[in-house]
Each structure stands twice: as C-alpha cells, then as structure tokens.
Amino acid sequence: MSLRNAFAILLFTLILTATSIQSATFYVSPTGDDSWSGSLAGPNENDSDGPFLTLERAVGRVKEIQREAGNQIKTVVKIRGGRYERTEPIILSGVGVGNSDAGTLIEAYPGEEVVFSGGTSVDSWKKTEEAETLERLPEEARGQVFESDLFAQGITDYGVLKERGFGRSVHPAAMELFFDNEPMTLARWPNEGFVHIADVTGSATGGKFHYEGDRPERWRKANDIWLHGLWTWDWADSYTRVQSIDEASKEFTTYPPHGVYGYKKNRRYYALNLLEELDRPGEYYLDRVAGKLYFWPPSELEKGKAVVSIARQLLKLEDCAGVRVRGITFEATRGHGVEFRGGHNNQIDSCTIRNIGNTGAIVSGGTRNKVVRSEVYNCGDGGISLTGGDRKTLTPGHNEVTDCHIHHYSRWSKTYRPAVSIGGVSNRVAHNHIHDAPHNAIQLGGNQHIIEYNEVHHVCQETADVGAFYMGRDWTQRENVIRYNFFHHLGGFEGRDDAFSEAIAIYLDDWSSGTEIIGNVVYKGGFGVLIGGGRDNLVKNNIFVDCNPSVHVDSRGLGWAKYYFNGENNTLIQRLDAMDYKNPPYSERYPELLTLYDDDPAVAKYNKILNNILVGEGKDYDLANGLDETVVEMKDNWTEGDPGFINMEEMNFNLKEDSPVFEMGFEKIPFDEIGPRGRR
C-alpha cells in the first residue's frame, strides 16, 4: 500500500470517529483498482487512489467499517456507469448484520447506467462460406448467416441442453445468444407454433412416436436434436432428446425420461437445435464440438451487440440485513439472476433483471425482504420466486413483491413457471403489472398470503386448464386473500383439448379451501373463478364481464376425481398429516380440518358467492356434480346487464355514483389503485 493510500484511510477513519461515525460512502468503477481506498477522486496520471474495481472489495470494506463502528453506520456503495461482465456470481454474506437500522445501499451512480452481465460480447464475425455448412443450411439462409469462432476467442464452456419443463429438475440453461438485449431463437422447426404427433403405435411411455411428412430427412447430419412438446396435457410441457429417427417408418425414438406423461396422438411439439432449420433472421445454432456460433442477425451485426451467456448467476446475498440494491441492470445469465437467502429487511429496488436462463429473482426465507419497483422480463423460467415463513408453525415471513413490471417470462419452460410464485406464510404480491406469458401469472402455496392490486393480462396464451392465479391440492393452505386485482384478456391459444379449455382468471384447483376472493375485476377472462372441489371459499364483491362462466363450482371428488377419496390416492391426507393438523397451531386456527373427513369431504360445501356483478356474454354460474343453491350459498348477485360502468369499452370499470348495485350492498372497488403505483 502506498504512503498516500494509507494516509487517506487513516484520515477517513479519524473523520468518522470525530463525527460519531454517521455514514461512509465507497465507489466502484470499471477503471478502478481494488488496492485503492474506494474514494471518488481519481484516477488520473498524478493520482494513485480512487474507486474500487469490484463490488466484492467495496462490500468487504463496508463490513470492516460496520465492525469498526459497532455496526451502527449507514454505508453506501455507488457504482459508476459501465458494463461489468462476470463469469462467477457476486456472493455477499453477512453484510449489515446488526446494522440493518442504519442500512447498506448499493446503487448505480446518479444518471449513469450500470449493467452487471453474465455474458461475454462476441465481436468476431464472418460470413459462413464453408461448403459443408452451406449444404446443411436451408437455401434461403445461404449468404445470410454469419459465424463466430468462440473457441478461438477463449470461450469454451457452452453448457449442455438438458431435460426441462413440468416435473423436471431446474438446471442452468445452456449458452444462449442475445442481440441488442433481446433473446435470439435456437434454430427450430416449425418457426412458429407446433406440429402434431401422427400416431403412437406402442406404449405411450415407450419413448416412440410417428411424425408426419419428410422434414426430419433433412436432419441426417445433426447429432443433438431436441423436441419440445405438450405431449399429453395442455398444462405440462417438457424437452426430450432424440435418440434416433427411422425414416422408413417415420418414427422418433427419444432418450429417457422421454416426454412428460408419455406421448399421445395429435399432441403438439416442435424440433430445435438444428443447423438445418436456421432459416430466418433472429435464429442461431451453436456447434459445441467445433465451438462455432452461427447466426442470422435480425439487423446489421456491426451496429448491434451480440452477447453469449456464461455466468450461472450474478448476485447472491446470504444472511444479510438492511441491504438495498438499487438502479442496476442484471442480465445474460444461464441460471438465476439475483437471489436473497435468509436475512431480513433486504431489497431489490428499481432494478432491471432481463435475459435470464432460469428465474429472474429469488427471495428464499428470511423476513421482510422485498423486490420492489423493478422490471423483470425474458426469463427462461419464472420471473420472481418468493418464499418466507414456516408453515408448520404458521410463523409469518412478511416478504413482498410490489410495484414490479414482469413480462415475457417462461421462455423455455412453458408451464408452471409463473411471473411470481409465492410460498410459506404471510407474504404479499401487490401492485404489479404482469403480462405476456404462455401459462400462469401468480402461483400460490401456503397460508395467509395477500395477492392484491395487480393487473394481469395476456397470460395463459399457449396452454389450457390454466389459471392466471393458481393454487391447488392441499386442504391446509388457508386464509389466503385475493383482492382488488384486474384480470383481463386471458388465453388465446386455439385448439386446446383439455377439459377446461378456456383460461381461468382465479383457479382454486383440487380442493383449495378457505380463500377469500374479494373486489377483483375480471374482463374477458375465460372462467372468472373456478372452485374445484374446495370448501369455505368466499367470492364476494367482484365484477365479472364477458366470462364464461363467471363462477364455476364442482364436487369433483364425486366424479372424475373420486380416486382421491376411495383409497387410490392419498395426497390430500398426506398433506394434512404433514402439517400435523390435529395439534396446535392448526387445530386451533383451522378446527374445521379436524372433522373434515366426517363431513362428506368430496362435496364442495360452505362456499359463498355473494354481492358480485356478473354481466356480458357467457353463463353466470356453473354448478357441477349435483351442486345447487342448497349447497353453495348465492345471494345478492347482479345479473341484469350493465350496472353503470364509467366506460366499459375503455376498460374503466369504476361505477357511477347512482349505480343500482350499491343498493344491494355492493362496495366500491378501488379500481384506479390497481397496478404499479405511479404508472397510471
């Protein structure tokens, strides 16, 4: 350490001591040096001090200062503008413990763009001219495709494609290509949509099925062909690798574990990872043996920026307290983007998380941790995973996702990778704007959560038997509240083949019980609310417009799902037992569980449909499996046409002051407060 550097640190410490150590600020810059003091000054030709180079060094200094100050000091790390490319995640552990009231702020320098990238820029491109490669390319692509020798640039870890999707383990994605901050498409056929299984002549789970046409004959030189399909159900997708193609019988054989639930005639799939199908702008193919990347750019290469993902993750906070990360962009990972594990009072605030291989942000455990005012998009799996609290003791987590914009997620895994998944006890998802996804938006497990003031639209676009909000198959998940949300324009995939082919705005699947659905607005939502066998649910003071039906309730345990009650399937009992429901706190908080199996458990009892507005095209109610108004309490619901909306055509569902529904007890919905605060 230079004499000047040592003197700067000593002076800095003396100033802190003299002022009762109120605050300390450090700086990080792409031109910094971790041997410096982290000051804003310099560097210049006459200066040997200035900002740090890495966030790890800055946070290490923060922890030192916190210890020196007895942990009661406000610390700030300001990051100068620039692109920080990472191959390994930044792992921060124990920051701010004992210091959370003072807090630690890690933020972009005002007015400057800070990007932490898990990717590496690719600049060395040339037109593809090798005869053998041109022969494999479609005719329309010849002369349009560029190649880059990644191996020659020192990029040698390309990852591997693996099975992923419904019921599959979550693995980091293989290397992806992003161009001008948008994900490109791994070369596939067909370019849009799906083709269909021609026939399955053997066992559904035998790993073989027949295809139509002769397209696979073009793929004879391909050595790593993958298929992605919704193989049996329109709510379960998976990827599987091709083992062989029999051109004579037009049959694929796949590697185990094959497609989830096996293969079924007429179900849909597409093929990918094929140089032979690189036939339009925006597609790419990576030859992992030669280390060459082939790309048909959607615009001029020299004017754009090509990035390949390398790092598995960018930022991980473990058992930290009072850490706030603000105004930073995180992008281009193979795995998750940002992760909090444990700790308390931590925040991701006003950040952008994009182009992520798995989930954008994970909040796992701890208390009062939050993701707020952030944009999360282009995630391979879900947007944000939020858990906290202990279900067995009903200890709350109080973690939150609020005021976020989450969209275009579930790029790779198409089902059950929601914008927000929430688990545990007493967490909150509020004031978010969620849109454009193939499957669900909010998926809930646990107790006493609050889902409120969210706008959700254009989700459930490629699947069926799907809820924008979804929970299911557990009697013990109770006291959840879904209120003051706006669901609209759900669904959109043609040709769905499942029992509930329409999308569902609020889906209480398979005996979900004890849920309050209050003050929501559903417009063109397919089904408005579906209660699938559960009990003790309250549907009150909601507006349903152009839903078909507005409310569905069934006792499925008396019909197709009777195997849950005749001893064939013990899932519901096992989940009851897992919560030790015969003893406190469950026996005291949910005494109805103690007598559940003595009270016709297959019948959807004690549900209430009260004071709702149900108008427009479609059925108002659908009660199935022998249910009627002697079992389902329904009263004071408006079904007589427009109740006096301010402007339904422009989706203003506020009610005029003289609306007749107020006379029947309907209460005003705070419609203008829905969505991120400050957006409207």
Residue 259 domain flag: yes
Shared domain for 341 and 353, answered yes or no, is yes
CB 440, CB 470: distance < 8 Å: yes
The average pLDDT across 394-403 equals 98
CB 612, CB 553: distance < 8 Å: no
Placement of tokens 């919905």 in the chain? 669
- Segment 656-671, tens digit of pLDDT: 999 999 999 999 999 9
Shared domain for 212 and 338, answered yes or no, is no
What does the angle CA 593 – CA 596 – CA 599 come to, to the nearest 5 degrees?
150
Distance of alpha carbon 145 from alpha carbon 137, whole angstroms: 9
Report the domain count for the chain: 4
Residue 387 domain flag: yes
Distance of alpha carbon 59 from alpha carbon 54, whole angstroms: 9
What confidence score (pLDDT) does residue 492 get? Answer: 72
What confidence score (pLDDT) does residue 40 get? Answer: 85
Hey, CA dihedral for 214, 462, 330, 96, is it positive or negative? Answer: negative
Q: Which of 272, 295, 326 is the last residue of a domain?
A: 272
Residue 227 domain flag: yes
Question: If you write DSSP's letter for every residue of 164-230 in order, what string do you get?
Answer: -BTTPPP-PPPP-EEETTEE-EE-EESSSS-EE--B--S-TTSSEEE-SSSGGGGGTT-S--EEEEE
Residue 649 domain flag: no
CB 409, CB 441: distance < 8 Å: no
Residue 226 domain flag: yes
Task: Enumerate residues 6+ apart whose C-beta is below 8 A from 273.
Answer: 161, 186, 187, 188, 222, 224, 225, 226, 285
Shared domain for 443 and 363, answered yes or no, is yes
What confidence score (pLDDT) does residue 271 get? Answer: 98
Residue 479 domain flag: no
In single-letter form, the type of residue at position 585 comes to P
* 35-44, 503-512, 599-608, 611-620, range with the lowest pLDDT: 35-44
Residue 139 burial (CB count, 10 A):
8
* 39-48, 50-59, 242-251, range with the lowest pLDDT: 39-48
CB 50, CB 36: distance < 8 Å: yes
What confidence score (pLDDT) does residue 501 get? Answer: 74
Shared domain for 112 and 235, answered yes or no, is no
Return the structure tokens found at 72. Answer: 């009661």
Residue 607 domain flag: no
Return the structure tokens found at 134. Answer: 């041109």
Instruction: Flag whether pLDDT at 42 surpasses 50.
Output: yes
Residue 405 domain flag: yes
Shared domain for 357 and 398, answered yes or no, is yes
The average pLDDT across 633-642 equals 95
Buried b (16+ CB within 10 A) or exposed e, 66-91: beebebebbbbbbbbebbbbbeebbe
Shared domain for 335 and 408, answered yes or no, is yes
Q: What is the CA radius of gyration of the chain?
A: 28
The average pLDDT across 283-295 equals 97
- Segment 275-286, tens digit of pLDDT: 999 999 999 999
The residues with which 253 forms a beta bridge, in sequence order, are 208, 244
* Global confidence as pTM: 0.95
Return the structure tokens found at 613. Answer: 């507005």
Shared domain for 156 and 300, answered yes or no, is yes
The average pLDDT across 290-295 equals 97
What confidence score (pLDDT) does residue 3 get? Answer: 39
Shared domain for 27 and 47, answered yes or no, is yes
CB 399, CB 367: distance < 8 Å: yes
Three-class SS state of 369: coil
Q: 17, 122, 104, 6: which is closest to 58 by C-alpha?
A: 104
- Segment 555-593, tens digit of pLDDT: 999 999 999 999 999 999 999 999 999 999 999 999 999
> 198 is in which domain, residue-wise?
189-272
Q: 419, 487, 492: which is closest to 455 by C-alpha?
A: 487
